[in-house]
Amino acid sequence: MRLLSFVIFFGGLLTAQTQTKKTILVMTDGLRWQEVFQGVDPALLNKEAGKVKNMEAMRKAYWRETAEQRRAALLPFLWSEMAAKGQIYGNREAGSEASVTNRRNFSYPGYNETLTGFADDRIDSNDKKYNPNVTVLEWLHNKPAYRGKVAAFGAWDAFPWIINGPRAGFPVNAGYDAMEMTPTTAAMELLNRLKAESPRDPEGEPIDALTFHTAFEYLKTRKPSVLFLSLGETDEWAHAGKYEEYIRAANRVDLYLKTLWEQAQSMPEYRGVTSLVVTVDHGRGRAPVDWKSHGEKLDETKYIWMAFMGPDTKALGERKNVGPVTQSQVAATVAALLGEDYAGAVSKAGKPIADVVGK
Ligand SMILES: [Zn+2]
């Protein structure tokens, strides 16, 4: 007890000891908690509501009798690794609620809340305006220990504004923009060419593969301490009402998580000292129609999910009958895993999720 009060009293001055030295934060835009915890939705796995064309292949790949089997088929890494060795929040049917607090339930407010730790009423559109707030990425980068060791990659070309790249001073690569590195690599040059030569519509985003492999090549060669990656296809295909592509995109995100994790465990700089955090910017509505959209008018689209794994996170698995967690807690949790007290420095920010950082 005396030690505990000492820690609380000096909590603002001391840096907590954690084993995490590297953090990878991955977001996939608007992937519903329903698919994460229940797998493919039978109300959408059809021609009428989900425009599914390859029914046989989709059923073979993703349909199973129980929700547990379906979710494991859809997101095998998330369920066999992250949920087994870490923690996952947001299964509303099991008494775990994760939600955004910004009330907007769309992307820019959600990324702002995730990355700064607080909702901001000024952020009321997805317009490309520089974020007046400092993200936890920039806050870390401003510390000598993280200078030159933070990088962000997003499929959505608004990220240089959301993260305020010019002010933040670390790479924020987004949309179809080439990733300039000195020295560069043959793989990065090829990725830059594929982006330049891709068909595009002005409002659209590159396929996740281009964004993922850009971030992955950077991770392998530059070994950042903090890597942020945001993928977009889960939101794009859902807005288009194409459930088959939405599901395939979610399955690819799972493959990317596995690829990142296995790569990290193969590198001495990352092995055993890396924490992986995965979440979304907002939820979506229900089948058969509302699943395509999200926003203020669909209150239930405030519900999200989040998963954590790493040396400082107890293997408590799928959280059931626990207190609610919010998107505003992610920033301070990411920092706390690294032993940094973001919540102490930024009073508006949500507190770290105690169970995630309390090993
Ligand atoms: Zn959207």
Report how many domains make up the chain.
Answer: 1
In angstroms, what is the span from residue 317 Cα to ligand 1's centroid? 29
The verdict on residue 14 lying in a domain is no
In angstroms, what is the span from residue 233 Cα to ligand 1's centroid? 10
Domain range for 89 is 19-357
The predicted-structure confidence for 188-208, as pLDDT tens digits, reads as follows 999 999 999 999 877 789 999
Residues 6+ apart with CB under 8 A from 232: 28, 29, 154, 155, 156, 205, 208, 211
In angstroms, what is the span from residue 232 Cα to ligand 1's centroid? 9
d(CA 287, CA 251): 19
The verdict on residue 51 lying in a domain is yes
Region 162-176: mean pLDDT is 98
The verdict on residue 13 lying in a domain is no
The predicted-structure confidence for 321-334, as pLDDT tens digits, reads as follows 999 999 999 999 99
The verdict on residue 12 lying in a domain is no
Confidence category of residue 9, pLDDT binned at 50, 70, 90: very low
d(CA 256, CA 99): 24
d(CA 160, CA 100): 22
pLDDT at 292 over 90: yes
In angstroms, what is the span from residue 234 Cα to ligand 1's centroid? 9
In this predicted structure, which of 4-18, 174-188, 240-254, 341-355 has the lowest mean pLDDT?
A: 4-18
The verdict on residue 33 lying in a domain is yes
In angstroms, what is the span from residue 260 Cα to ligand 1's centroid? 25
d(CA 346, CA 136): 10
Question: Exposed, middle or buried, 64 (CB in 10 Å: 0-12/13-18/19+)?
Answer: middle
In angstroms, what is the span from residue 270 Cα to ligand 1's centroid? 33
The verdict on residue 100 lying in a domain is yes
* DSSP string computed for 278-336: EE-S-----TTTGGG--BTTBGGGGB--EEEESTTS---EE--S---EEGGGHHHHHHH
The predicted-structure confidence for 36-70, as pLDDT tens digits, reads as follows 999 999 999 999 999 999 999 999 999 999 999 99
Beta strands 150-154 and 87-89, pairing class: unpaired
In angstroms, what is the span from residue 48 Cα to ligand 1's centroid? 21
pLDDT at 15 over 80: no
In angstroms, what is the span from residue 67 Cα to ligand 1's centroid? 25
Average pLDDT, rounded, for the chain: 95
Q: What is the CATH number of the domain that holds 115?
A: 3.40.720.10
The verdict on residue 254 lying in a domain is yes
pLDDT at 4 over 80: no
Percent over 70 (pLDDT), the chain: 95
The verdict on residue 6 lying in a domain is no
In this predicted structure, which of 3-7, 121-125, 265-269 has the lowest mean pLDDT?
A: 3-7
Q: Which amino acid, 6? A: F
In angstroms, what is the span from residue 340 Cα to ligand 1's centroid? 32
In angstroms, what is the span from residue 99 Cα to ligand 1's centroid? 16
The predicted-structure confidence for 248-286, as pLDDT tens digits, reads as follows 999 999 999 999 999 999 999 999 999 999 999 999 999
Residue 44 has a CB neighbour count (10 Å cut-off) of 24
Instruction: Single out the residue of 326, 252, 287, 357 nearest to residue 103, CA to CA.
Output: 326
Residue 183 has a CB neighbour count (10 Å cut-off) of 6
Instruction: Single out the residue of 229, 322, 316, 307 nearest to residue 275, CA to CA.
Output: 307
Region 106-135: mean pLDDT is 98
In angstroms, what is the span from residue 307 Cα to ligand 1's centroid? 21
What's the pLDDT at 355?
A: 97
